Structure 1
Amino acid sequence: MSTVEPGAATSGLVDRVKSILLKPSATWDQIAAEPVTVGGLFKGYIIPLSLIAPVAGLIGSLVFGHGGFGVTFKPSIQGALISAVVDFAMGLVGVYVLSLIIDALAPTFGGQKDRLQALKVAAYSGTAAWVAGIFLIFPPLIFLMVLGLYSFYLLYKGLPRLMKTPQDKATGYTAAVVVAAIVIGVLVGILTSPLQRIGLADRGPAAGTISVGGKSVDLSELEAQSKRLEAISKQIESGKAPEAIAPDVLKTFLPAAVAGYDRTELTTSSGGAGGVNGSQAEGVYTKGEGRIRLTVTDLGAAGALAGLVNAFNVQSSSESDGKYEKIGKVDGRMTQESYDREAKRGQYSVLVGERFMVAAEGEGASMDDLKAATAAITPARLEALVKG
């Protein structure tokens, strides 16, 4: 019997991507029985898909640049290439390290150690995240990268099938692996960005800290989340996924003025893939030289996947050279904020009802202004849209 080289032909790669996204259960069963080699899996699947985000990001940065509110900068070709190569290389390392963790944890959750099967899980569960990287090519579509969270559900479905874990222990296994993936992501950020100072231990006022659920994971909460994800996935596979709120409805949540800034622009957009849809309304507010871009995004079915991240109660903070970043919960909602005090530039976002993302980005605006802008959306009104 010959050894399968996944994705050796373009059509085979495309078909596998479609099948794992749309029919994960049946596809995992097929993957479990396939003989592979480490080299074949990297060459035929991991490397081609790992290239999507770095290449899309390279093109997007060189063509459109970075920034907002009409103020953008474009990196040098050399700088953009170096960044893309580093991201690509670290991504490959991350997949392999994650596979080692999956293999090492298997016996703890009643599974069987198998290095190749673990690599399959790490590779194929990342499909949604890799494919979502294509949205880096065009800045207005970057919000759709949240669809990559579907990879968490792919992981949950693949672990018991390939690592022979009892179904009643699949949730805990998934939780442990996702926590490991979060930590790997933080470490990759430390290695690839000189501006990021997030550490795994408190090292003083200039250092960062990160904890995942206080060094523990609420498995009962995760169990509830996984059941929701399974229901959502079945709806997606059957073409009955929840419809995103119409953009024209979302734009009614953007007031004429926020925090003393008057609205000068109002736009809407919608889109999706693989049965998962989303929509967004965006307003631009100005006051003198200051600008705030306020967005309301309905993640649609992907909101349930964001809920899985919320269940981990991830908290982090970092500060260096007048810049800081924080992730945590405020009033039970996951929030993220970052600010450059010297440039008076920052961002504040809130996950509302595990369905909506409300975000404010500002130039020449204070963090208090950005927080006031997101509060003007009135999160309780958004939550009422899906509770009714």
Structure 2
Amino acid sequence: MDFAKIIARARAILTTPKTEWPVVAAEPATVQGIYTNYILVLAAVPAIAGFIKNSLIGISLLSVTWRAPVGSGLAGMVLQYLLSLVLVYVMSLIINALAPTFGGQKDPVQALKAITYACTASWVAGAANILPWIGWLIALAGGIYSIYLLYLGLPATMKNPVEKSAGYTAVTIVIGAVLGWIVGMIVAGVVGTAALTGAAMNNGHVTLNGDHGSVTVDPDSAAAKLAAMGARAEQASKELEAAQKSGDTAAQQAAMGKMMGNDGSVQSLSADQIKTFLPDTAAGLKRESLSAERSAGVGVQITVARGQYGDGTRNVELEISDTGSMKGMMAVANAFAAESEQQTDDGYEKTYSKDGRLVHESWDKTSKSGEYTVVVGQRFSVKASGQAEIDQLKDAVDSVDLAKLESLKNEGVGKN
């Protein structure tokens, strides 16, 4: 197993898909080889991220952090991994079976190539699930990009006319969504949580056409931002390759920043800077404790400050996060966040835009607790959660100087 080749292929299919797909289609391969030399590695990324999130970091909701027992977490990770391996193969069978319907040629190995390399974006973005709250949006952006990759890849691998790729892709994705939902339900049952998140892309206008698999997007739509990210990533890939050859570490870091959607390197706020935004009182409660930290790893830097507020009967946690080097990805994720609302007998949960900012709120009538989050400047997340009325949680977030925080959205951003 050559990890360098796996990384090179993943980078190429993500950044230069139009030129990489013909290469993928032409190279000799076997089902076993594709699994051994690619799928077994990348399919493990979201499974491992899920275990880290569920069993090590934990899921925080309403001021309570829940962690799955390590044993069940490991079982869920292994099950998710194994089911994902099976799902890829089943999807390849479906793609192969549908080929004649859309003017293509049946070939089981080429069908496996199509679904495998299209899934690259989804697998890589799955690592973002460990990030608090915003992680699922990044994973969603990766899933959407995988659909785009499949659309581009089908004519090269299955030899179908380009004009039929849109329908071919749509039918494949609908079937895959159902199968993926089933897998998610099985894994959730093992881990012990039924918190499954879904979203729909309803604000992007995309036209799939052209003799060479071109994609035309409405320049005012959210999809245009995804297309722009792909173009930027392609250029950044070339810069990264040149920097690696020259051994220029600074240039490599700058190129990596571009691949994550940034104009340059991004330094998140220091712990001392961000904690100053936590007020002495919030929602009529005095601050009882304060903490802040900045962490970095694998090219990702994040700063988080938390304040605990209470009066003996009510408890609220106010959290401010600077996504730092994930700033570019945050912007893309915000663009694809669909407005949604769910009502139950016990409460509600909804996501919407207010004053140009993405807002997420939830409320549980039984526990009389909730959560209210606002994304500021497509970089900062301000969240209030705990046992208080939803209006009090909103007041807690409003007690933060959001305008001043937003004015720092370009703080620490280095231009290349």
Does the alignment reach a TM-score above 0.5?
yes
In the alignment, is the contact (CA less than 8 A) between 2:294 and 2:304 conserved in 1?
Answer: yes
Alpha-carbon distance in 1 for matches of 2:278, 2:310:
16
Alpha-carbon distance in 1 for matches of 2:163, 2:376:
30
C-alpha distance after superposition, 1:293-321 (max 9, x if no partner): 422333322134314523xx35352636x
1:230 — aligned with what? Answer: 230
2:330 — aligned with what? Answer: 303
Q: Which amino acid aligns with 2:366?
A: E
In the alignment, is the contact (CA less than 8 A) between 2:383 and 2:397 conserved in 1?
Answer: yes
C-alpha distance after superposition, 1:37-90 (max 9, x if no partner): 444433432233222333454356555555489965554454324432443344
| Higher mean C-alpha deviation, range 74-83 or range 20-29 | 20-29
C-alpha distance after superposition, 1:216-238 (max 9, x if no partner): 85332255223432343245433
2:283 — aligned with what? Answer: 259
In the alignment, is the contact (CA less than 8 A) between 2:125 and 2:138 conserved in 1?
Answer: yes
Task: Give the 3 Å change call, closer, same or farther, for CA 18–234 of structure 1 in structure 2.
Answer: closer
Give secondary structure in 1 for the equivalent of 2:327: coil
1:362 — aligned with what? Answer: 385
C-alpha distance after superposition, 1:111-150 (max 9, x if no partner): 88866545434323433543455566xx678866765545
| Higher mean C-alpha deviation, range 324-333 or range 164-173 | 164-173
Measure how far apart 1:377 and its partner are.
4.5
In the alignment, is the contact (CA less than 8 A) between 1:348 and 1:371 conserved in 2?
Answer: yes
1:218 — aligned with what? Answer: 205
1:126 — aligned with what? Answer: 119
Task: Give the 3 Å change call, closer, same or farther, for CA 122–369 of structure 1 in structure 2.
Answer: farther
Q: Which amino acid aligns with 1:295?
A: I
Q: Which amino acid aligns with 2:390?
A: M
Measure how far apart 1:97 and its partner are.
6.1
| Higher mean C-alpha deviation, range 177-186 or range 42-51 | 177-186
Q: Which amino acid aligns with 1:246?
A: S
Count residues in correspondence.
Answer: 362
In the alignment, is the contact (CA less than 8 A) between 1:247 and 1:268 conserved in 2?
Answer: no
Q: Which amino acid aligns with 1:326?
A: K
1:294 paired with 2:287, answer: no
The within-5 A match list for 1:240-279 is 240=258, 241-242=262-263, 243-244=265-266, 246-248=268-270, 251=275, 253-263=277-287, 264-269=289-294, 271=296, 273=298, 277-279=300-302
The within-5 A match list for 1:50-69 is 50-58=43-51, 61-63=54-56, 66-67=59-60
Percent identity between matched residues is 30
Task: Give the 3 Å change call, closer, same or farther, for CA 387–189 of structure 1 in structure 2.
Answer: same
C-alpha distance after superposition, 1:238-265 (max 9, x if no partner): 3143243631365555444432244432
Task: Give the 3 Å change call, closer, same or farther, for CA 29–297 of structure 1 in structure 2.
Answer: farther
Alpha-carbon distance in 1 for matches of 2:164, 2:409:
31
Q: Which amino acid aligns with 2:205?
A: D
In the alignment, is the contact (CA less than 8 A) between 1:294 and 1:373 conserved in 2?
Answer: no
Measure how far apart 1:93 and its partner are.
5.2
Task: Give the 3 Å change call, closer, same or farther, for CA 385–295 of structure 1 in structure 2.
Answer: closer
Which structure 1 segments of 5+ residues have no match? 1-7, 200-208
Alpha-carbon distance in 2 for matches of 1:234, 1:52:
23
2:395 — aligned with what? Answer: 372
1:206 — aligned with what? Answer: none
1:30 paired with 2:23, answer: yes
1:337 paired with 2:364, answer: no
Alpha-carbon distance in 2 for matches of 1:105, 1:218:
26
1:3 — aligned with what? Answer: none
Taking structure 1 as the reference length, the TM-score comes to 0.67
Measure how far apart 1:358 and its partner are.
1.9
Alpha-carbon distance in 1 for matches of 2:78, 2:336:
28
Task: Give the 3 Å change call, closer, same or farther, for CA 59–46 of structure 1 in structure 2.
Answer: same
2:155 aligned to which of 159, 163, 171: 163
C-alpha distance after superposition, 1:317-368 (max 9, x if no partner): 2636x36443444455444334444344543334445x22524252323333
Greater Rg over alpha carbons, structure: 2
Task: Give the 3 Å change call, closer, same or farther, for CA 380–89 of structure 1 in structure 2.
Answer: farther
Measure how far apart 1:180 and its partner are.
7.6
2:42 aligned to which of 24, 45, 49: 49
Alpha-carbon distance in 2 for matches of 1:13, 1:22:
14
Q: What root-mean-square deviation, in Å, do the aligned CA atoms of Structure 1 and Structure 2 show?
A: 4.8
1:319 paired with 2:344, answer: yes
Task: Give the 3 Å change call, closer, same or farther, for CA 96–384 of structure 1 in structure 2.
Answer: farther
In the alignment, is the contact (CA less than 8 A) between 2:59 and 2:66 conserved in 1?
Answer: yes
1:285 — aligned with what? Answer: 308
